[in-house]
Amino acid sequence: VSLPCFVANWKMNKTIEETLSYLSLCKKRFSHLPHQDVEVILAPPYTALFSVGKRIKELSLPIGLSAQNLFFKTEGAYTGEISPRMLCEAGCQYVIIGHSERRMQFGETDAIVVEKVQVALDAGLIPILCVGESAKERAEGKTLAVVKRQVKEAFCMDKHRLFDLSRCLVSYEPIWAIGTGRTPMPFEVERVHQEIVQIFHEEGNLHAASRPRILYGGSVNEANVAAFMEEPHVSGMLVGGASLSAETFMNIVQLGM
In angstroms, the Cα distances linking 60 to 4, 30, 42, 57, 145 are 20, 10, 15, 5, 43
Provide the angle, in degrees to the nearest 10, between the axes of the packed helices 186-202 and 143-154. Answer: 40
| Other Cβ atoms within 10 Å of 168 Cβ, number | 22
Report, in Å, the least distance between residue 192 CB and ligand 13P: 15
* Comparison of 10 and 200: residue with beta carbon closer to ligand 13P: 10
Report, in Å, the least distance between residue 14 CB and ligand 13P: 14
* Comparison of 196 and 238: residue with beta carbon closer to ligand 13P: 238
Report, in Å, the least distance between residue 105 CB and ligand 13P: 12
Q: Is 246 exposed, middle or buried (0-12, 13-18, 19+ CB in 10 A)?
A: buried
* Comparison of 102 and 206: residue with beta carbon closer to ligand 13P: 102
Q: How far apart are CA 208 and CA 41, in angstroms?
A: 25
The answer for 206, left when phi > 0, alpha when psi is -120 to 50, beta otherwise, is beta
* Comparison of 212 and 241: residue with beta carbon closer to ligand 13P: 241
Q: Dihedral sign for Cα 73, 76, 77, 83, please.
A: positive
* Comparison of 113 and 157: residue with beta carbon closer to ligand 13P: 113
Report, in Å, the least distance between residue 36 CB and ligand 13P: 25
Q: How far apart are CA 126 and CA 212, in angstroms?
A: 11
Report, in Å, the least distance between residue 204 CB and ligand 13P: 30
Q: How far apart are CA 1 and CA 213, in angstroms?
A: 11
Q: How far apart are CA 45 and CA 66, in angstroms?
A: 9
Residue nearest to ligand 13P (CB): 240
Q: Which residues in this chain contact ligand 13P in the complex, by CB under 6 A? A: 9, 99, 173, 178-179, 217-220, 238-242
Q: How far apart are CA 6 and CA 43, in angstroms?
A: 11
Active site members: 99, 173
